[in-house]
Amino acid sequence: MTVSSDLGGPKASAGRPAPRFGPPLSALALIALVLILLLPSGITSALARTRQPKPEAPPPGELRFSRQSSFSPSSGLALDACWLGDQHLLVLSLGPGGAELLKAGLQPSASEVLVSSEILSQVCPPALHDRLRLQLSPGGHYLALQWFTDNGQRQLALLSLGVPAPALDMAAAAQPQPAADPPPADPPLTAAKKANNAVLELGVLAASGKPVQDAAAGAAEPGSAPVDAAVIPAPASWPQPDFAALSPADVHLVQLALPAGMQVGTLLFSPDDRYLVLAHDGFREGSDCSLLALDLQAGRQLWRLSPADLNFIHAMWWNSAVEHQGFAVSAEVHNGQFQAGPGIARFDLERMQWEFSPEQGNLLLYGEAPWGSAAAYQSAPKAAAPYHIKFSPRGGEPSQQKGSLLLNSEPVDLELLPDSGYALLVNRVEASEKQLWQFNLYNAKRYLVDGDCRRCELRPDGRLLVVGGQANELRVYQLTRPGQS
């Protein structure tokens, strides 16, 4: 089954680019164009927002997202935001004095500074605060901050919320073996290489900015016990942090010294916050590590892979289809060779094995849910549409079989809802303009949820957070199913 969907972005057809201009402009149209060009940028931005399509209400019988509330930070620009429990948001706000991390209620007046701009400047230079982006782990115990420098170098800092920051033994670990034909084990790390191993230093972000406790500097010796490992409980037993009571004293800094030359392009937390997987940006040269897996519970490096093993890693996701803890990535390079197209590498963390499946098409995004899976691809040059989605249900009605959906604009984020066949898709309309759509993959029905979406995050209770791109606004939607009021 193949169906086509127009998401309102730039269109293209097989072998022919989308037309850039329509019929000749009339005199009135030319005058209007000149006036728009002469208007102040703020007015033109407002006009651009008014041209965005309005969300269309789905008909009865379909899921729908209804806006509940919206607000803007009272003292700055919302660079990024995410859910912090069920009643709070974590907001990265940029003001005149720099960026700060706020714990905000769902009302604009209820906010508290968790990390001030002065302390945040110890992690990221003030001049680069506007480039900060955040990613909270599923259990809420860790927060990753990423940014890039003026010369394009990617940077990463890690914070822990309400739990002790782990100190990791970064000595050489057993290397994961390909499931089919295991290669010889890598030689032990030399003393020179140990100096490039990642080291985590424990410290509390206090008002003075000085850590109240520091772990020993340098990499731990092979076989030594990780610092403070005994006081780190298993994440499976960790209760979710009490976000309502979370204060600045509960925010711990984990300064991560990555392997030499490694620049993290993508990172992935396990659902229980035990594991953290870091993938190097393959377009940046100079790293002998392309994939680094950390066991935050045991306090150690789990393994690392070299660029010859895997490189140019793009999509990463936790693999719920395997019996043991594991994850999967799409990669263009395997065994030192560029593949005809990105393949899929699947990792079993408990068995310390991984396998690589060659060319899976030009995979961009992947999502899983109990009802099945879906993936977004870039199409071949002469295909009917530049992008497409393939979906595969796990059983169900005869009409709910695997199929594909054609897309006319670039998909940049994909999340499957727990309801069978439904997905949220963010597409790029222009360089800085993205839209959020609700899809029924079975019948290709799609409805615009939000026309100005930099990023979104869905909670298990059906509440959806949207961070505006053109507008400095945070919006909260509620998912309503058929039969619900």
User: How confident is the model at residue 350, as a pLDDT?
Assistant: 81
Q: What is the DSSP string of 65-114?
A: EEEEEEE--TTSEEEEEEEETTTEEEEEEEETTEEEEEEEESSTT-EEEE
Q: What is the pLDDT of residue 4?
A: 54
Report pLDDT for 302.
Answer: 85
Mean pLDDT in residue range 250-270 = 88
CATH architecture of 2-11+50-183+195-480: 7 Propeller (2.130)
- The mean pLDDT of 252-272, rounded to a whole number, is 87
Nearest of 229, 214, 174, 218 to residue 194 by alpha carbon: 218
Pairing mode of beta strands 310-318, 326-334: antiparallel
Answer for the pair 115, 251: CB distance below 8 angstroms, yes or no.
yes
Percent of the chain with pLDDT over 90: 40
Of the listed ranges 92-101, 213-222, 316-325, 328-337, the one predicted with least confidence:
213-222
End-to-end CA distance of the chain: 33
**What tens digit of pLDDT does each residue of 287-330 get?**
999 999 998 877 788 888 999 999 999 889 987 655 668 899 98
| pTM of this structure | 0.74
Q: What pLDDT, on the 0 to 100 scale, is given for residue 353?
A: 86
What does the pLDDT read at residue 482? 86
pLDDT class of 147 with cuts at 50, 70, 90: very high
Q: Which of 118, 103, 117, 105 is nearest to 161 (CA)?
A: 103
Residue pLDDT, tens place only, 3-47: 555 555 544 433 334 433 334 445 554 555 444 444 443 333 333
Give whole-number Cα distances, 316 to 33, 265, 331, 344, 482, in Å.
Answer: 44, 11, 9, 10, 33
76-90, 205-219, 244-258, 334-348: which range is least confident on average?
205-219
Does pLDDT of 1 surpass 80?
A: no
Across the range 114-132, mean pLDDT stands at: 94
What pLDDT score was predicted for residue 162?
Answer: 82
Domain boundaries, the chain: 2-11+50-183+195-480
Q: What is the model's pLDDT at position 235?
A: 44
How confident is the prediction for the chain on average, in pLDDT? 76
Q: Any idea which residue has 């931005």 for tokens?
A: 45
Q: How confident is the model at residue 84 (pLDDT cuts 50, 70, 90)?
A: very high
Separation of alpha carbons 332 and 338, rounded Å: 6
Q: How confident is the model at residue 212 (pLDDT cuts 50, 70, 90)?
A: very low
Confidence of residue 86 (pLDDT cuts 50, 70, 90): confident
Looking at 4-18, 63-77, 191-205, 353-367, which range is the least confident one?
191-205
CA distances from 406 to 315, 371, 388 (A): 20, 21, 4
In sequence order, what are the residues at sequence separation of 6 or more whose Cβ sits closer than 8 angstroms to the Cβ of residue 291? 277, 278, 279, 280, 304, 305, 309, 310, 313, 329
User: Region 439-459: what's the mean pLDDT?
Assistant: 93
* Predicted confidence (pLDDT) at residue 89 exceeds the cutoff of 50: yes
> Which range among 42-56, 63-77, 139-153 has the greatest average pLDDT?
139-153
Confidence band for 275, pLDDT divided at 50, 70 and 90: very high
pLDDT value, residue 194: 27
DSSP character string of 198-258: --EEEEE--TTS--SS-PPSSPPPTTPPPTTGGG---GGGPPPP-GGG--GGGEEEEEE-P
For the cut 90, the answer to whether the pLDDT of residue 135 exceeds it is yes
Residue type, 451: G
> Scanning the structure block, which residue is given the tokens 């029924």?
440
Is the model's pLDDT at 109 over the cut of 90?
Answer: no
> pLDDT band for position 480 (50/70/90)?
very high
What's the confidence (pLDDT) of residue 322?
Answer: 56
Backbone phi, psi, residue 463, to 5° = -85, 135
